[in-house]
Chains A and B, each alone.
Chain A
């Protein structure tokens, strides 16, 4: 509610919808608004220096599809503001309209959009509400963990935890009215040890892992015990031989697999990429529209879904930013490409319902096709231990620390903190500067021969970047505890 002239209070939604509905419906063919409130807290301790920061913001974004009756062309426009005064909100609508009309100058023609007609609410269920805990409690927790991130070889250590609450109200010209409140929690820590001029870094969980939920997510990570472990492992890495160079059997742990699925399946199946709309910046995709149901992406045991309904995944929600209800769709089924990450604007091109994958990083950005919770489904035959036990000669890798992906996503190079030799079914020698590379398909995924059936790992990243201006969004990946591949190149 905001105060308007005369001391009367009005809902922001009322001001926006009144203004937007006043436009000629032959010109403004569609509009939607997101009114969003964000609260974020971060607590850190870097090399003994502790601190915290708090971010609060509230704003609105207005998206309009206009039809220029003089030229017969359509265009999208978007405007946002966090100055929540009546005049500013009206000006925001006017800017969105003017921007859309300007877009019609360089347009492909008449655009159509099938609006959602959804009403409802979606809330994250919290076991321990981090926003009800005192700052001191959270800072003390971080400081306590930072105490274990030390050894005589340690030159640098850091730990941070983050909590973010995002409340969004979505309304559109078709009467949709959706309220969602999602709470993200997570964090990570790393330690760098040095010996004889060499450095080794070990992190956990990855460089930060995030899920939907409360402080219980942080407790699940058992940072204290894992902190002690990574300090020890960083020194072990320093005393390890250099990663060899060979083609071999590779078993991939969950943190690494989450990034791999993210980069070469998630991004490759974003439909705007496939349509060339991200070509100038994020890149293209080796996949084509006609690949659905035909293209052999991997071996028969490879099943990958987009599932924003998956509990606790950082890529889960009730509706996307088109107002489409979250739904699970196969991207790869039995090794064959089965679908793409779509929104309402483009799902009709492949004759499908929207995958509810049109997302904006915040109220001030326009939604684009994004990774949701893109999950590699577990196998049904072997456990992680059984898969390791079957390997005569190979390597186990996990914990990414560097990566480079081809523009069309059909090739990659990853560097890992964890690389351990497997000999006769047992993990033996650790290696430093581990890396592996391959062509995404068919080479890599066609050589996937086993996927663990254990309870999968829920990974989540807060730093998936795409779009211009860049939109950094939170995504999730539910992945098996181990996934096994033949014939992978390790080393330089």
Chain B
């Protein structure tokens, strides 16, 4: 699957002939999603899609007049440009746009692994079969997605590049005869990293233990968040706290506090790292700025936010995190600790273990208060032993919860960002995290200031 050279030349000719600024982005994506439920494949789809985005920008006194069109029809690119040129005067002046970006040198990290794109439909079905068989009678559901995308970008400021991306995403749930479940998720560029054997066996074993659920008494508990739950907590910070536009609008809780201790816990160090080969590596953001590693929190001190050219004063101030009109951290890493999660669990007593959240939503964006419930295995750890309990509701003020974290595991996992595992482009690398002093009242865990 390749973008034809003749097509690239045609786009280049169109850009070079413009009297105003312009950008063309053209992508071809081939993806396959094998979906299974009740231990059989229920949907199996293969998509081939090409998308052309043309944006034109005309400099006027107070800014730029912008016009854009996204289409699957590439036959008439010259006509599209002509139509847009004829309509550009109808656009309002945008004083935020600072022009298209020049050619920036990237770190050149690897984003494509042929094995991911080349896996056959039969091999994928066989892989699903093995994941189902490893359930040994458990009801199995989930997805296995593989994608190969090629993107060609060219603009009037001299940007010109062609990039390939491979992606795999896995989300599997095992369910026992009592209707209780366990799950695992993983994402990355190289499907050869996907150790389905270990993950599916560990997950099905956990599911089998998730029977005879008991209620937990009210009181104060330690809470151990498994990586899926930790990832979710971090994900909500990515846009609500570290989003460039939220910060610019003074809505982020860290507004005006860069350089200050925002989380009174020196264990918390959070970075946005697009270069870790275990994650969804990227060299450029959606504007074409070279991505870079950004330290967001260092030992509890706010260091930076995600930016793009629209939310900073000068284009060069962007740290390469553009996502459409906003800037988000999509590839975050929470620094781990020194002990393995198994050793942490051995030392836990009267500790609630949360595998994953169900339907977490923000209740108060300014304080980053998250509410929802737990799923896929909630346990009470007594003297290092996990005893299954019923799912719990929660309401957590995330910054305050992070202050209460007393230990992070050395081992970390790569997880798709957010609970919409199959739809978000980001991934986090996170450890297990142990928090102290969480109150449980009326079946709801609370951690509010």
**C-alpha gap A222/B274 in the complex (Å):** 45
Q: Which of B9-17, B171-179, B343-351, B425-433 binds A?
A: B171-179
**C-alpha gap A102/B93 in the complex (Å):** 53
- Residue B422 is within 8 A (CB to CB) of chain A in the complex: yes
Binary CB contact string for chain B from 22 to 54 against chain A (1 if under 8 A, 0 otherwise): 000000000111111111111111111111000
On whether the beta carbons of B43 and A366 are closer than 8 Å, the reply is yes
Q: Give B35's nearest chain A residue, CB to CB.
A: A468
Q: How far is the CB of A338 from chain B (nearest CB, A)?
A: 25
- Residue B338 is within 8 A (CB to CB) of chain A in the complex: no
Q: How far is the CB of B32 from chain A (nearest CB, A)?
A: 7
Of B36, B93, B366, the residue contacting A199 (CB under 8 A) is B366
Q: Give B66's nearest chain A residue, CB to CB.
A: A51
- Which A residues are CB-close (under 8 A) to B391? 407
- Residue A261 is within 8 A (CB to CB) of chain B in the complex: no
Q: How far is the CB of A397 from chain B (nearest CB, A)?
A: 15
- Residue A49 is within 8 A (CB to CB) of chain B in the complex: yes
- Which A residues are CB-close (under 8 A) to B362? 402
Binary CB contact string for chain B from 349 to 391 against chain A (1 if under 8 A, 0 otherwise): 0000000001111111110000111010000000000000001
- Which B residues are CB-close (under 8 A) to A407? 358-359, 373, 375, 391
**C-alpha gap A237/B325 in the complex (Å):** 29
Please report the total number of A residues contacting B with Cβ < 8 Å.
78
**C-alpha gap A95/B45 in the complex (Å):** 9
- Which A residues are CB-close (under 8 A) to B250? 155, 194
On whether the beta carbons of B92 and A50 are closer than 8 Å, the reply is yes
On whether the beta carbons of B44 and A103 are closer than 8 Å, the reply is yes
On whether the beta carbons of B92 and A279 are closer than 8 Å, the reply is no
On whether the beta carbons of A275 and B122 are closer than 8 Å, the reply is no
Of B39, B66, B91, B423, the residue contacting A470 (CB under 8 A) is B423
- Residue A213 is within 8 A (CB to CB) of chain B in the complex: no
Q: Which of B70-78, B210-218, B231-239, B400-408 binds A?
A: B70-78
On whether the beta carbons of A79 and B72 are closer than 8 Å, the reply is no
- Which B residues are CB-close (under 8 A) to A53? 68-70
On whether the beta carbons of A134 and B90 are closer than 8 Å, the reply is yes
Please provide the chain A residues from 397 to 438 with a CB less than 8 Å away from any CB of chain B in the complex.
Answer: 402-407, 411, 413, 415, 433, 435
- Which A residues are CB-close (under 8 A) to B95? 48-49
Of B90, B325, B422, the residue contacting A468 (CB under 8 A) is B422
Binary CB contact string for chain A from 99 to 123 against chain B (1 if under 8 A, 0 otherwise): 1101101111000000000000000
Is chain B's binding surface mostly helix, strand, loop or mixed? strand
Of B90, B124, B364, the residue contacting A136 (CB under 8 A) is B90
Q: A58-B73, A276-B38 are in contact. Are A102 and B44 (CB under 8 A)?
A: yes
Binary CB contact string for chain B from 114 to 135 against chain A (1 if under 8 A, 0 otherwise): 0000000110111011001000
Q: How far is the CB of A78 from chain B (nearest CB, A)?
A: 4
Q: A51-B92, A155-B251 are in contact. Are A280 and B141 (CB under 8 A)?
A: yes
- Which B residues are CB-close (under 8 A) to A277? 37-38, 42, 141
- Residue B198 is within 8 A (CB to CB) of chain A in the complex: no
- Residue A46 is within 8 A (CB to CB) of chain B in the complex: yes
- Which B residues are CB-close (under 8 A) to A350? none
Q: A105-B41, A404-B371 are in contact. Are A465 and B47 (CB under 8 A)?
A: no
Interface set of A (CB-CB < 8 Å, partner B): 45-59, 75-83, 88, 91-92, 95-96, 98-100, 102-103, 105-108, 134-136, 139, 143, 155-156, 192, 194, 198-199, 275-281, 283-284, 364-366, 368, 402-407, 411, 413, 415, 433, 435, 465, 468-470, 492
Task: Please name 20 further chain A to chain B contacts, defined as beta carbons within 8 Å, in addition to the given A105-B125, A276-B141, sorted by A numbering.
Answer: A46-B325, A54-B68, A55-B70, A76-B41, A77-B44, A78-B44, A79-B45, A80-B46, A80-B47, A83-B50, A95-B46, A135-B87, A139-B90, A280-B171, A281-B141, A404-B372, A405-B359, A433-B364, A465-B420, A468-B143
